[in-house]
Amino acid sequence: MLLLIDNYDSFTYILYQYLREWDDVEVIQNSDPLPSNSLQKFSGVVLSPGPGLPKTSGKLMDHISFLIGKMPILGVCLGHQALAESFGGKLEKAGEIFHGRPSSVFHKEGGIFRDIPSPFSANRYHSWVVSPSDFPKELEVTAETENGVIMGIRHKTIENIYGVQFHPESILTEFGKKLIRNFCEIAR
């Protein structure tokens, strides 16, 4: 079973439907306490997209701190930004605001990008990005646009912590379901 932390985004339930194709899913809001007495029933956690910034998103940052190292984590958009910040990364205003526009994403193979061609087209909805300056040493950039905007991260030593800036659950993202399935398989 997967835990989906909802950051109050309209895409959360599309993400939920995709995840449900491969596993059972329990949803909590980012302002809810973690179901800490039953965490052992979860094989992984997905941090949904959402409005605003990670530090103003309920208990999201506390939840991440508690969950790191306990199970695989996939952060999407705001969830990706929150993962980067939790390891000391910084956010900056995007040079160009994207709202429902695709970009070519180039990635390093493996992990959540297993069997996905590089580049592929991914839909973006964001005005903030993870800053490449002062990028945390314990994280690795796994995907970026042709202009070097960070689109994917993973932790170098803690297994199975991934983030993607784009929306894999968007119908305009090629191979989005494959990426989500790859995470579900990793979390099993």
Residue 157 has pLDDT above 90, yes or no: yes
Range of the domain at 99: 2-187
Phi, psi of 49 (to 5 degrees): -65, 170
Position 49 scores a pLDDT of: 97
As given in the structure block, the two tokens for residue 46 are 């997905």
pLDDT tens, residue by residue, 52-80: 999 999 999 999 999 999 999 999 999 99
The CATH code of the domain that includes 11 is 3.40.50.880
Strand-pairing partners, residue 25, are 2
Asked whether the beta carbons of 97 and 158 are under 8 A apart, the reply is no
Asked whether the beta carbons of 180 and 19 are under 8 A apart, the reply is yes
Q: What is the mean pLDDT of the chain?
A: 96
Number of H helices, E strands in the chain: 4, 9
Domain count, the chain: 1
Residue 38 has pLDDT above 90, yes or no: no
Tokens 């579900």 identify what position?
184
As given in the structure block, the two tokens for residue 184 are 């579900």
Tokens 């991914």 identify what position?
122
Asked whether the beta carbons of 164 and 124 are under 8 A apart, the reply is no
pLDDT tens, residue by residue, 85-136: 999 999 999 988 888 889 999 999 999 999 999 999 999 999 999 999 989 9
Residue 36 has pLDDT above 90, yes or no: no
How many percent of the chain have pLDDT more than 70? 100
Task: List residues with catalytic annotation.
Answer: 77, 167, 169
Position 76 scores a pLDDT of: 99
Entry pTM:
0.97
Position 34 scores a pLDDT of: 94
